[in-house]
Amino acid sequence: MPYSAVIFDLDGTLIDSESLWSVATREVLAEMSFDPAHPVLDRLFGVDMATCAGLLGAAFPGLDLADFDARLTARTDQVEGRGIPLKPGARELLDILHARALPRAIATSTRRDRAHHKLHLTGLDRHFATVVTFDCVDRAKPAPDAYLLAAQRLGVDPGACLVFEDSDPGTRAAHAAGMTVVQVPDMVAPGTDLATHIAPSLLEGARMAGLIA
């Protein structure tokens, strides 16, 4: 086995939450009389909420960010409460890693409470004893901090880690940490060439990286 551990991003990589969040974001913006088709929305994937707030504030002068956040949180809770689909191949790949007892972790820019809530809702929490969130690090993605901390907590060398990511900020973060990166694009096409492999699905990416046959 060429890897000592596998680290996953969460939203858009293991769970199909980005599409739900995108719809909710556009609906709330429209309700508040702002353009729900503004191109800045494509830049929000894979970044932390503080960065999102900065981008939204610059794109939409006059937007009450506190009101927007409260409305979006309520709308997202409502939608996610009906269930968050897994990305294709997520359960199968995690079952394979579990059977091999290969160490694995989550490294996400989502806040701790939201990340654990989503893992619980989807039943993926049983696969991850190590969960690194936005609250755990000083610098969010694209800085490498979350991935380096995940490797440290797993007790493995960063260079021996395989990462699955969907976004460019996450791909940059994992690359900067010195890890092998499989990018499985979700809502936005890749805008960086830093991924070791770009794959149409988790299972195909695992094959390309030599993780599974």
In angstroms, rounded to a whole number, what is the distance separating the alpha carbons of residues 73 and 66?
11
**Residues 104 and 183 grouped into a single domain:** yes
The pLDDT value given to residue 136: 97
**Residues 12 and 22 grouped into a single domain:** no
**Residues 9 and 111 grouped into a single domain:** yes
What average pLDDT does the segment 156-177 reach?
Answer: 97
Spatial strand order in the sheet of 130-132: 130-132, 104-107, 5-8, 161-165, 180-183, 197-198
**Residues 169 and 94 grouped into a single domain:** yes
The pLDDT value given to residue 107: 98
Judge whether 171 and 13 are in contact, CB under 8 Å.
Answer: no
Please provide the average confidence, as pLDDT, over all residues in the chain. Answer: 94
Give buried/exposed letters for 49-75 (b at 16+ CB in 10 A, else e): bebbbeebeebbeebeeeebeebbeeb
Overall number of domains in the chain: 2
Active site residue 9: yes
Residue 213 lies in a domain: no
Torsion of CA 31, 32, 36, 40, to 10 degrees: -150
The pLDDT value given to residue 79: 85
The pLDDT value given to residue 187: 86
Q: How confident is the model at residue 186 (pLDDT cuts 50, 70, 90)?
A: very high
Lowest mean pLDDT among 50-54, 84-88, 115-119: 50-54
Mind listing the pLDDT tens digit for each residue in 69-101?
999 899 988 888 889 999 999 999 999 999 999
Residue 1 pLDDT > 70: no
> How far from 181 is each of 20, 28, 30, 34, 206, CA to CA, in Å?
25, 34, 36, 36, 10
**Residues 68 and 90 grouped into a single domain:** no
The pLDDT value given to residue 47: 79
* CATH number for 156: 3.40.50.1000
**Residues 198 and 105 grouped into a single domain:** yes
**Residues 114 and 73 grouped into a single domain:** no
Lowest mean pLDDT among 40-54, 170-184, 186-200: 40-54
* Catalytic choice (9, 145, 166, 186): 9
Q: Which has the closest alpha carbon to 7: 186, 114, 196, 150?
A: 150
Mind listing the pLDDT tens digit for each residue in 192-211?
999 999 999 999 999 999 99
